[in-house]
Structure 1
């Protein structure tokens, strides 16, 4: 609820609506477009909720779908917040996506405090590492105190346990003061199951399932107000909170059939806030469609988003280093697959997918679409947390393998992203966890996870209970580094600083050199006319016909003018 305006709510499903304000019950009158309004102006600090009459009964007091604060959780009263903030980072000029190094983190498990303040305490560490922007997993309110964040219900509010609206603004301010951007992960493809009262007010969903919840109504009857609900949230984060970018979760699950795509409308808002403030704002989509339209400019018939996550590069690199080939990894594993993704971003560009049982994707025009629009990584919250035990790659790979994967990602022209803890080879898992306030929801969530992984051969005892507090506690990062972790951290820091110093992100994909050996001699050479990464993606020693002057390596390869001799999982950055 915006301060200094009359209390109002969209409630087409209600026959009557009343406002409960600081213990007082006030009538509301129906107006245009099924909006109900009270003769009372909202002021910061007021606690309120709405009660709906269905023709026979009044509901309990419900939180506002457009609540900006839920001090007592998703089932409690909403609070009017003050939109003003004493910003200290007024000279922040922003950063476009190009040139960024992103660090994805979960607020609740990143620091010992598990709060926005705890993240602030690590900003100097991240800046020294070479990070330029932090990406927060969703912070909208959810049931209980422990959750990944993808079960959010009030899409204009901030989880109180992290520090609430004021805490998020303080984090953004502190990050900008230190020259770091802030990206916020937002979920508009489903509502969480705990505390979702929106359906009592109006048709926020339209039936059907995304696999996580009912399909959000952005194309059906009365969908204009649902779209406005989402678009107003986008403007809220970008303008009022001064967030630099939004990561849009699973846009392929949006039931979007309008002539004007929701993504296109979101991009218009980002462009408008950029124009009004002079500070770049951008959108990054998570999309499983391998459709370059998402990142193609509007003049080319695209949606014009700044970037998208690209799982194909991750899958190709992960399978070749780890040897895993189950589920969606089954189409990858070859050196050719990795080389193809490094040359063109997508592996599936209109070819057959065994996992999907159909052809998938279309090619990117690498001459027209800059490489920085593709966000790449060695792992993410999904690629770790959606494993049965939530085990990280660093829990099974050697330090050499971990640093090799990082070298491939950071030597490419794509926008790199780290997942919290990978930079020091964290040995703590990142399992799926939740703390729904309904015991039955917790039981169903746990059983659903066990059924999901049983199909892949996992024993029930190996799947942590998401609702068990121990699952959450085990997922907290341990910041007490071993000697080995210090070495990995130093290597990550060096790679990220070399990426900047050597200009490894400067070429577009059409100018990038990518050459490989055979499946017997799995060497990879990738780079530019002056600097190359030469890597061995196998357990066997290899000799690659590319050499020069050694710039840096995690190990001690033999680099000569015309060749590089590499031991198992070794790499070398060379000046040609």
Structure 2
């Protein structure tokens, strides 16, 4: 069964097209075809669906659904909205000259994720403009490109989380054809593509789904408005709509993974959870296609059920963003303690994440004023995605400051090593690999003045838990958007080049560790070496060893690593001058069990491997 082709307008051939829409709120539905020539195509009722087929409907034809002979609305499963969220939907063809037929996709253990926002990644702000940058990402060591949401949103400026047509590709980015070109180009370069999708709410402007049926429920609320109706009357068809959407991206756009936004806002009290049903459908379709396809959870619940198999009561998702790791690392580097950061800041928090994934695994949270989370120690660490920066953690700051604006250059390198040499799957946010200075601010381009003002008030209220006193930048102003564009020229400056080459070396070492000590399959041995403020990770497998030292002190420290017997080779020291550091005087090798005190620079990383294990 081919669910993606069932809903909406599906172009067949010879200018014929089928239409299918779920509309239990309507007694009559017609297709108002605007081009070529205005006419009405009646649809037949089949239960709560209205279906029909017509001719003389070539690709590019524009249409509305006319409800009860009175109200014209875009298609809830529209594939394209060339005139924006209030305009007519467009018939598109699925024909595309794919040349990735042998593509299977990398295993999750090999993922190195690069998150980007299409609108600010390049001056052009389009899918096509991303393609020339792929070669540089490949050279860096990236293996997967994650796109922030591309479902059609109001206007041309948005993070993407205000999308109101989940099947339609944002037209200002280039539309569906351009997205296919980008995915095809990524696969030609060996890069997987992750798409961020939003199944917890729809945006407020251009949201017409409630005119068709009970897509939403008032029994629950999300921070962004009405919750999706996954467990009430009509919930089965709402599930079908969103599962069809997931399969649409995977099947018709060859997407390799979906990042499921804010699952803590997917409220579902049913005995058969939507998320488990989604996972089953996606994995079944991946098997049919002969490809690796993953579902990535983003949630602040620290609920291990997201990753557990459905046979034991879990949802069967493949991976999970690890906010706890970010918060533990960020607070050590910046000393910030406002808002949710008040639960972090100690050495034990970062050590706990390296040992078990979630830091809060059932203990009391001061920020939440209750116990929080569940143990994730049984989950292999590669199934967690770790980061020092991402769109949320930067963009939800008052002024959108990146880490490059908050800490020193040496601390930036320490943060990179802490992520990339962790047992987790690493994620980089666009520009961090060369120390991008431009902020990533929150921006919109709504048209309703009352809605614009409501968003402004909401942004101000979001910072009530933090100690930031000035008002946030105006999200509606075009200047806010323009300030968020990458300054790619920084890559050509000395500091940017040093940092880029340093990231490249870290990713090279990571690949070695995956091949040698099976990095990511188990948690490392973690030690906190006090009072030197050094945290160490030891990876060992089949008599091969890697030992990673992170120095968080503001001053150089002398410490005894107590390395096991053997000859150890220095693989990387972040303070070396070739990485733009202050320079150090270290022997290329050291011997144990003889005591061998090491000096680690302020905010630095050192990596040793046992002689003979490196490649």
TM-score band (shorter)?
A: over 0.9
Query: Equivalent residue for 2:489?
Result: 480
Q: Distance in 1 between matches of 2:169 and 2:130?
A: 15
The partner residue of 1:553 within 570, 573, 584 is 573
State the secondary structure of the residue aligned to 2:10: coil
Distance 1:370 1:541 in 2: 34
- Would the alpha carbon gap of residues 374 and 58 (structure 1) be closer, same or farther in structure 2, given more than 3 Å must change? same
Match of 1:194 in 2: 205
Counting only pairs closer than 5 Å after superposition, residues 262-411 of structure 1 correspond to structure 2 as 262-366=274-378, 369-411=379-421
SS in 1 for 2:110: coil
In structure 2, C-alpha distance between the alignment counterparts of 1:283 and 1:511, rounded to whole Å: 22
- Structure 1 residues 465, 63: CA separation in 2 closer, same or farther (over 3 Å shift)? same
C-alpha change, 1:299 and 1:507, in structure 2 (3 Å) is: farther
Deviation (angstroms), 1:8? 2.8
User: Would you say the 8 A contact 1:534–1:544 is kept in 2?
Assistant: no
Residue 532 of structure 1: SS of its match in structure 2?
Answer: strand
Q: TM-score, normalised by structure 2?
A: 0.89
Instruction: Answer whether contact 1:534 1:564 (CA < 8 A) is retained.
Output: no
Q: How does 1:101-180 map to 2 (within 5 A)?
A: 101-180=112-191
Alignment equivalent of 2:550, drawn from 531, 535, 550: 535
1:459 alignment partner in structure 2 = 469
How far residue 269 of structure 1 moved from its aligned partner, in angstroms, is: 2.2
**Cα displacement (A) at 1:93:** 2.2
Once the two structures are overlaid, the 10-residue window that deviates more, 188-197 or 260-269, is 260-269
- After TM superposition, the structure 1 stretch with the greater mean CA deviation from structure 2, 265-274 or 286-295, is 265-274
Secondary structure of residue in 2 paired with 1:528: strand
Corresponding residue number in structure 2 for 1:34: 48
The worse-fitting range, judged by mean Cα deviation, of 479-488 and 104-113 is 479-488
How many residues are matched?
Answer: 568
- The answer to whether residue 445 in structure 2 is matched with residue 435 in structure 1 is yes
CA–CA separation in structure 1 for the residues paired with 2:346 and 2:19: 60
Distance 2:217 2:513 in 1: 51
1:343/1:509 contact within 8 Å kept = no
Q: Which moved more, 1:5-14 or 1:113-122?
A: 5-14
Q: Distance in 1 between matches of 2:513 and 2:248?
A: 38
Is 1:424 the counterpart of 2:434? The answer is: yes
Q: Distance in 2 between the 1:240 and 1:142 partners?
A: 21
CA RMSD across the alignment: 1.8
Q: Which residue of 2 aligns with 1:2?
A: 10
What is the CA distance between 1:217 and its match in structure 2? 0.6
Question: In 1, Cα distance between the equivalents of 2:147 and 2:67?
Answer: 35
Maintained 8 Å contact 1:412/1:527: no
- Partners of 2:262 and 2:523 in 1: how far apart? 30
**Partners in 2 of 1:96 and 1:199 — Cα distance?**
39
Q: Deviations over 1:431-473 (max 9, x none)?
A: 0000012222222212221233255343344x11001000000
449, 460, 469: which is aligned to 2:478?
Answer: 469
**How many angstroms does 1:95 deviate by?**
1.3
Q: 1:573 aligns with which of 589, 607, 611?
A: 607
- State how 1:93-104 maps to structure 2 within 5 Å: 93-104=104-115
CA distance in 2, matches of 1:330, 1:517: 24
Q: CA deviation at 1:297?
A: 2.5
Compared CA separation, residues 79 and 258, structure 1 to 2 (3 A): same
Q: Is the 8 A contact 1:2 1:80 kept in 2?
A: yes
SS in structure 2 opposite 1:157? strand
Residues in 1 aligned to 2:41 and 2:173: alpha-carbon distance in whole angstroms: 34
Deviation at 1:84, TM superposition (A): 2.0
The answer to whether 1:498 aligns with 2:518 is no
Answer yes or no: is the 8 Å Cα contact 2:306–2:314 preserved in 1. Answer: yes
Whether the 8 Å CA contact 1:413–1:505 is kept in 2: the answer is no
Q: Are 1:106 and 1:148, in contact at CA under 8 Å, matched by a contact in 2?
A: yes
Is the contact made by 1:375 and 1:417 (CA closer than 8 Å) also made in structure 2? yes
1:30 is displaced (CA, Å) by: 4.9
Matches within 5 A, 1:3-18: 3-4=11-12, 5-18=17-30
Q: Distance in 1 between matches of 2:368 and 2:488?
A: 40
Determine the structure 2 residue equivalent to 1:184.
195
| Kept in 2: contact 1:142–1:159 (CA 8 A) | yes
Once the two structures are superposed, residues 200-228 of structure 1 have per-residue CA deviations (whole angstroms, 9 ceiling, x without a partner) of 11111102421012101111111111111
- Alignment match, 1:44: 59
Check whether the contact 2:381–2:522 (CA below 8 A) recurs between aligned residues: no
Aligned twin of 1:80: 91
Conserved 8 A contact 1:408-1:533: no
